[in-house]
Amino acid sequence: MIALLQRVRRASVEVDEQQVGAIGPGLLVLLGVEATDNLQSMQKLADKVLKYRLFNDENGKMNLNVQQHGGSLLVVSQFTLAADTNSGLRPSFTPAALPEVAEPLYQAFVAYCAGQGIAVATGQFGADMQVSLVNDGPVTFWLQV
């Protein structure tokens, strides 16, 4: 499972020109589910996302996680993160989980994070989405379990 984290001042996602999710300060989490992922890998990644210290403390050091910072999550499914780009000039999506496997794990990730007491907004699984963000820093990290 892969999470591309972007520290944002604000972020939103639209489907068919309708906003379906938005946050103020926090993390945009682009989430890729691979065919080998399961509930254990989902929980391990979710814990890492929630505990990852990428917000500045009073001394300007990245010492605070999203919850300590008082931020929210916007979780957007993005199967292209699971692409194999090692050969040729066209990505292979063989490593990506099929939708019937990926969607329940995506939903479980969202529910798990919300269950840890953090506000979570989402995109729409499988939809053509337009994501807008103001990256804070910019700060972007790739997490994979």
CATH code of the domain containing 94: 3.50.80.10
Q: Give catalytic residues, as residue numbers.
A: 78-80
* Region 35-44 average pLDDT: 97
- 44: tokens are 């391990």
Averaged pLDDT for residues 37-49: 98
Range of the domain at 63: 2-144
Number of structural domains (the chain) is 1
68-114 pLDDT tens trace? 999 999 999 999 999 999 999 999 999 999 999 999 999 999 999 99
Helix spans in 4-132 (H) = 39-51, 66-69, 99-115
Prediction pTM value: 0.95
How many CB atoms are located within 10 Å of the residue 128 CB? 8
Distances (CA, A) of 116 to 49, 87, 134: 12, 40, 25
How does residue 61 score in pLDDT terms, banded at 50, 70 and 90? Answer: very high
